[in-house]
Structure 1
Amino acid sequence: MFLPVFLGDESSPPLSSLQEGGCGSLKGTEAAHAVASLRLGVGDSLDLVDGKGLRLSCQILATDKNYLEFEVLQVMHLSLPETQFGLIQALSKGGRDEQAVESAVELGVSRVRPWAAQRSIVQWKGQKLQRGSKKWLSLLQAAAKQSRRANWPLLDPLADSRKLREIIAAGSREEKFLLLDPDASLPLTEAWEQVRQAKMVQVIVGPEGGVSPEETADFRAAGAITARLGPTVLRSSSAGPAALAALGLCSGLWGRKESL
């Protein structure tokens, strides 16, 4: 049974020091959300996580405004999959990039990087950079809680196309990059065979206007593999999640018994 998840960074004592049968308290916004918004009370169950794989299944002993006390029923240390996935998502208009990021987290992605592509209408410059990064981080955290994850994804800094090319070129044998391209001859399922030994597979998704020929050539020269999803062209909001779902099936992620 999946229980509601809350970040335990304001727990006392710290989550890492608690064992089964131990008791603690939680305060702040997470406790307020549990008590006031979800109406959890004495006897109800919840999971507290640290975002790094530690999950504590707990039972509530007492509540107050912005505060709850709990008993630890079970302690779990959850590992990351042998093959992890990242999403490099181009900034897109209409919130389509945010839709993609939210779905990617629910599908188990481990890293997310915003990309200022040549054809991105939306651009993070000046104060927009800080606001955009903060908004995406909030999206990642909310989606991680919604999908009951104990391992939360990391948000990498914004990259323009020049920086992204450098990142691809600097990738090791343990990190591979798949650029989604509807004109590519290689199907995604066959591209998987070329990257399956990597520990991190980064999926690159362009904006609504697509990836420019110059960017495609640069990324391929740097070591990225171009692959197509299927017989249709997906929007920026759905291409990344669709690819991640397919790769999750190929990698065995969907057969994993242990929660993420």
Structure 2
Amino acid sequence: MFLPVFLGDDSCPPLSALQAKGRGSLKGAEAAHAVGSLRLGVGDPLDLVDGRGLRLRCQILATDKSYLEFEVLEVMRLPLPHTQFGLIQALSKGGRDEQAVESAVELGVSRVRPWAAQRSIVQWKGQKLQRGSRKWLSLLQAAAKQSRRANWPRLDSLADSRQLREIISSGSGEEKFLLLDPDASLSLSEAWEQVCQAKMIQVIVGPEGGVSPQETADFRAAGAIAARLGPTVLRSSSAGPAALAALGLCSGLWSRKESL
């Protein structure tokens, strides 16, 4: 059963200290959203999470405008899947990068990194860096709540192409990088055979103008595997989510019985 999810913030007793039949309270924005926006009331169930795999199934005992009391019905500790995925998304115009990030979180991605590619029209410089990072973090959190996740993704820092090349080259054997390239000789399913033993698979997606030949050469030399998605070229907003959906099927993520 999927119930509305809320983050147990500082106004709530530490979630890790609560057991079945334990009681607590939630205040502030999360409680206001539950009571005001979703119209939850006494007797309604909800889930409280810590973003790190702990999920408490609760029942509301009392409410006010920005306050609710609850009783814990069940405590669940949900592990991350054996194979995790990351999205390295190039900054793109028209909000296409944000669409990709939101969908990736709903599809179960564990990490997201913004990438200032050579052909990225959008650039995070000066105050835009802080604003962009805050906006992406907010997107990650909202999408994690919407998709009822207990394990929330991590937002890595912005990288330019030189830094990304260094990140790829310094990756361990348990971390692999897949560069989406419509001209690659390997299909995504063939590339999967080369990365399927990794614990973390990072999918690299270029901007609307594509990944430059120099970036492609640099990333492949650093250890990334170039792969094509299929017979069509997808937008920057859809390429990453499409690849993650396909890889999730290959990895068995979609066969997982417990929630994420």
Q: CA deviation at 1:79?
A: 0.2
User: Aligned partner of 2:64: which letter?
Assistant: D
Q: Counterpart in 2 of 1:225?
A: 225
Q: Counterpart in 2 of 1:164?
A: 164
RMSD: 0.5
Identity of aligned residues (%): 88
2-structure distance, mates of 1:176, 1:53: 24
Secondary structure, counterpart of 2:179 in structure 1: strand
Does the Cα contact within 8 Å between 2:85 and 2:111 map onto a contact in 1?
A: yes
2-structure distance, mates of 1:41, 1:10: 22
Show the 5 A alignment for 1:1-260: 1-260=1-260
TM-score, normalised to structure 2, is 0.99
2-structure distance, mates of 1:141, 1:30: 12
Does the Cα contact within 8 Å between 2:42 and 2:61 map onto a contact in 1?
A: yes
Does the Cα contact within 8 Å between 1:84 and 1:200 map onto a contact in 2?
A: yes
Does the Cα contact within 8 Å between 1:10 and 1:28 map onto a contact in 2?
A: no
1-structure distance, mates of 2:120, 2:13: 46
Q: CA deviation at 1:14?
A: 1.1
Secondary structure, counterpart of 1:73 in structure 2: strand
Runs of at least 5 residues in structure 1 that lack an aligned partner in the other structure: none
TM-score, normalised to structure 1, is 0.99
User: Aligned partner of 2:72: which letter?
Assistant: V
Q: CA deviation at 1:12?
A: 3.3
Does the Cα contact within 8 Å between 1:11 and 1:24 map onto a contact in 2?
A: no
Moved over 3 A (4+): none
Runs of at least 5 residues in structure 2 that lack an aligned partner in the other structure: none
Q: How many equivalent pairs are there?
A: 260
User: Aligned partner of 1:150: which letter?
Assistant: A
2-structure distance, mates of 1:166, 1:138: 27
2-structure distance, mates of 1:175, 1:14: 33
